Chains A and B, each alone.
Chain A
Amino acid sequence: MPLLRAAARRLAIFIGTVVVASIVIFLIVQALPGDVAQTTLGMGATADAVAALRERWGLDQPLAVRYGQWLVGMLHGDFGSSYITGASVVSQMAPRLAVTGWLVGFSVPLSLLVAWPLGLVAAMFRRRWPGAVVNALSHIGLAIPVFFVGTVATIIFAVNLGWFPANGYVTLGTSVSRWASHLVLPVASIVVVQACFLARYVRAGFIDVLTEDYYRTARAVGWTRWRGLVRHGTRNMATSLVTVVGVQIASLLVGAILVEQVFVLPGLGTMLIQAVQARDLVVVQDVVMLLVFAVLLLNFVIDMVYMAIDPRLARGGRG
C-alpha cells in the first residue's frame, strides 16, 4: 500500500523533527544567562541556600539527565512545576490551551468560509468592478494589523453598541452564552484579517483553474461558468491553498498572542509573555515546546490532507 508507506514515512519524519526541536528548545533555554535559583532567592542569599534550591529543582544534574527527565516527563503528561509558583505547568497550561484552541479553531474555518466566495468572485470578475472591489478590500485587510481591527471592533461593538463584552473570558463550563459572547469579537477580528489574506490565494487558485483544460472540458459538457468553476475548481484550488492555510494556522497559534492581549484573554500567548517576564523558564520551555509541537503536528496533518485532496499523491500512476 503506497498510501500507508507514505503516511508512515511522514510520521517518522514528524517524530524525528519533534525530538530535534525539543533538544534545540532545551539547549536554548539552558543557555540563557543567569542562574534561576540565584535570581529566585535574591542577591543576598547564601551560597548554601542557592545550592540547596538547585538540588531541589534538579539543576545540579548533568544536562543530558535533565533533558531526559523533561522529555520522559512530558511523555507521561508531566511538564514539570513552575519555579515561581510551584504549581504544575500542565494544570496552568490546559485551560489556556483551550482558550487559544477556541480562538484558532473558530477563526480558521470561518476565514475559509469567507475567503472562498470572495476569491471566487474576484477570480471570475477579475477584469470587472466586483473583482477590483474584492481585490482592493483584501489589500486593505492585509495592511491592517489584527490588534488594530480588534481595538476598533471593541470601540464600536463593545463600548458604543454594547453588543459584546469588551474583554475577558468565561469558560464554556461556566456559561455557554457568556463564553460565546466573549469569543465573538476576538474571533471576528482574526477572521477579518485572515479572510482577506486567504481570499488572495483562493482568487489566484481559481484564476489558474479558469485557464485549465479541464475547466474548458467542464464548460464543453454543459456546466455554466459559475457552477463549473465551483464544481471542478474548488478541489483543485484547494490543493494550492492547503499549504497556505497550514502556515496561517501555525502563525495564528503564536500570533493569537496579539488578540489575546487586546481582549485580555487568558491564552497561551499571555501565559508565555508572563513567564518570560518572570523568568519562569520551565513554563517558557514548556509553552514553546507545545507551540512548536502544534506547528509540526499541523504540518504532518497537512501532508495527510494533501493526500486526501489530490489523488495523484496518494495513488501512484503515470503522471
Chain B
Amino acid sequence: MTLLAIDDLSVDFGRHHRPALDHVSLLVDAGQRLGLVGASGSGKTVLASAVMGLLPDNAHLTGTVRFQGRDLTRLPDAAFSRLRGQDLTMVFQEPMTALDPTMKVGRQASEVRRLHTRCSAAQARAKVDEIFTRVGLDPVSQIADAYPHELSGGQRQRVVIAMAVMNNPSLVICDEPTTALDAMVQATVLALLVEELDRVDAACLFISHDLDVVSSMCDDVAVIHGGRIVETGGVDEVLDRPRHPYTQGLVATARIDAVGPGQRLPVIDDFSSTSDLVQAASEQCDTPAPTRQDR
C-alpha cells in the first residue's frame, strides 16, 4: 500500500535560481525503508522539508505530495500540524541544535505527546519515561530533567528519536541522523533507530550520503543528483550494478579498499562522462544556500 506518493515535485527559491528539486517523483510504501542518497546540495534536505511542509517562506513548490491519500501541499497549517509529530515525524541531522536550549528535554518530549493525545501531564510524563527507557536514556529521571546542553550528542539524538517515535508514526523521515555523531555512537544510534522503526512498524525515508549505512538499513534506494532522481531500485541491485554514471561514481568512490596503493582515488567526475552532468553538478554548487533568511 502506498503511504507517500511524491509526484512531479519541483521546488525553487526565487525565480532566478535553478530548481532545488526538478520534477521529482517517488513512492514510499507502508513499512518500506527507502534510502535517498546524493551529494550535498543535491536536494535531499529540500525534499525532506517539502514533505514535512517546512520549506522556508521564499520556496516555490509545484507538484503533489500525497500522504495517506491527502495532498500535503494543499493542507492548511493547522491541519498539517496535527499530522506532524503524529503520523509523519522527522529525525534531524544536527542533534546539537535540534532541541530548545531553554527547556528541559523531558518537557520537550512530553509536549510531543500532549500536542496529539488528550492526556494529563503525569500520563505524558509516564509515556516519556517509557520511551526514554526504551531508547536507552539512563537514568531516565535525571536525563528528562536535564537541559540539552547537559547531554552528549548521542544522548540528544536519542531524545530526538524518542520524540519521533513517541506517537507511533507511519512515516519517519531521517535526514542524515548519524552524520554529526562520532563513529562509535553512530553504530549504536543507528541500531536503535532500526529497532524503534521495527517496533512502531513505521516506513522510513532515510536520507544519507553514506552508502554503507543505506545498504545496511534500507530495502530500496533512490539516487538524487542535481535535484533529480536519477536511479531507483532495490539496494543490492542499485549498489551492485549501478546504471546511471553518477551512481557508478558514488559507488566507486565509496570503495576505498578497491584502490591499490599509489593509485589515485576515484572522484565522481571520472564517471560523469556526459558533459551536461558535470555542468549540472557545478551549477548546482553555485546556487546559494536558500535557507538563510533576511531580517
Q: Interface residues, chain A, CB within 8 Å of chain B?
A: 126-127, 204, 207-208, 210-214, 216-225, 231-232, 235-236, 239, 309-312, 315, 317-319
Q: Which chain B residue shows the least CB distance to A317?
A: B150
Task: Indicate if B116 sits at the interface (CB-CB under 8 A).
Answer: yes
Q: What's the Cα separation between A213 and B151 when bound, in Å?
A: 17
Q: Would you call A312 and B116 a contact (CB within 8 A)? A: no
Q: Would you call A224 and B92 a contact (CB within 8 A)? A: no
Say how far A50's CB is from chain B's closest CB, in angstroms.
64
Stretch in B8-16, B79-87, B193-201 touching the partner: B79-87
Task: Indicate if B18 sits at the interface (CB-CB under 8 A).
Answer: no
Q: Would you call B81 and A223 a contact (CB within 8 A)? A: yes
Contact of B85 among A213, A214, A220 (CB under 8 A): A220
Q: Would you call A310 and B52 a contact (CB within 8 A)? A: no
Q: What's the Cα separation between A235 and B147 when bound, in Å?
A: 14
Q: Would you call B84 and A222 a contact (CB within 8 A)? A: yes
Which residues of A are found within 8 Å of B291, using beta-carbon distances?
211
Q: Would you call B98 and A213 a contact (CB within 8 A)? A: yes
Residue with the highest number of chain B CB atoms closer than 10 Å, among A222, A225, A232, A311: A222
- Mark each residue of chain B from 103 to 125: 1 if its CB lies under 8 Å from any CB of chain A, else 0: 10000000110011000000000
Q: What's the Cα separation between A108 and B294 when bound, in Å?
A: 29
Q: A236-B101, A310-B101 are in contact. Are A221 and B92 (CB under 8 A)?
A: no
Q: Which chain B residue shows the least CB distance to A123?
A: B295
Which residues of A are found within 8 Å of B102, using beta-carbon distances?
235-236, 239, 309-311
Contact of B97 among A127, A214, A235, A312 (CB under 8 A): A214
**5 more CB-based (< 8 A) A-B contacts, given A214-B100, A217-B92:** A207-B293, A220-B89, A221-B89, A223-B81, A309-B102
Q: Would you call A317 and B92 a contact (CB within 8 A)? A: no
Q: Interface residues, chain B, CB within 8 Å of chain A?
A: 52, 54, 57-58, 77-78, 81-86, 89-90, 92, 94, 97-103, 111-112, 115-116, 147, 149-152, 160, 163, 291-295
Which residues of B are found within 8 Å of A127, using beta-carbon distances?
57-58
Q: What's the Cα separation between A224 and B152 when bound, in Å?
A: 29
Q: What's the Cα separation between A224 and B78 when bound, in Å?
A: 6
Q: Would you call A222 and B112 a contact (CB within 8 A)? A: yes
Residue with the highest number of chain A CB atoms closer than 10 Å, among B82, B94, B293, B294: B293
Contact of B90 among A220, A223, A319 (CB under 8 A): A220
Q: What are 25 A-B contacts defined by CB distance under 8 Å? A: A207-B295, A208-B295, A210-B293, A211-B292, A214-B100, A217-B100, A218-B100, A219-B54, A219-B84, A220-B90, A220-B92, A221-B84, A222-B81, A222-B82, A222-B83, A222-B112, A224-B77, A235-B100, A235-B102, A236-B100, A310-B102, A311-B149, A317-B150, A318-B152, A319-B149
Q: Would you call B293 and A214 a contact (CB within 8 A)? A: no
A-B pairs, 5 with minimum CB distance: A222-B85, A221-B85, A213-B97, A317-B150, A222-B115
Which residues of A are found within 8 Å of B293, using beta-carbon distances?
207, 210-211
Q: Which chain B residue shows the least CB distance to A209?
A: B100
Which residues of B are found within 8 Å of A213, using beta-carbon distances?
92, 94, 97-98
Say how far B202's CB is from chain A's closest CB, in angstroms.
15
Q: Which chain A residue shows the least CB distance to B94?
A: A213
Q: Which chain B residue shows the least CB distance to A311?
A: B147
Q: A217-B92, A223-B81, A224-B81 are in contact. Are A212 and B97 (CB under 8 A)?
A: yes
Q: Would you call B92 and A318 a contact (CB within 8 A)? A: no
Residue with the highest number of chain A CB atoms closer than 10 Å, among B82, B97, B292: B97
Q: Would you call B111 and A312 a contact (CB within 8 A)? A: no
Say how far A309's CB is from chain B's closest CB, in angstroms.
7
Which residues of B are found within 8 Å of A224, using beta-carbon distances?
77-78, 81
Q: What's the Cα separation between A222 and B115 when bound, in Å?
A: 7
Q: What's the Cα separation between A64 and B207 when bound, in Å?
A: 74
Contact of A318 among B52, B84, B97, B150 (CB under 8 A): B150
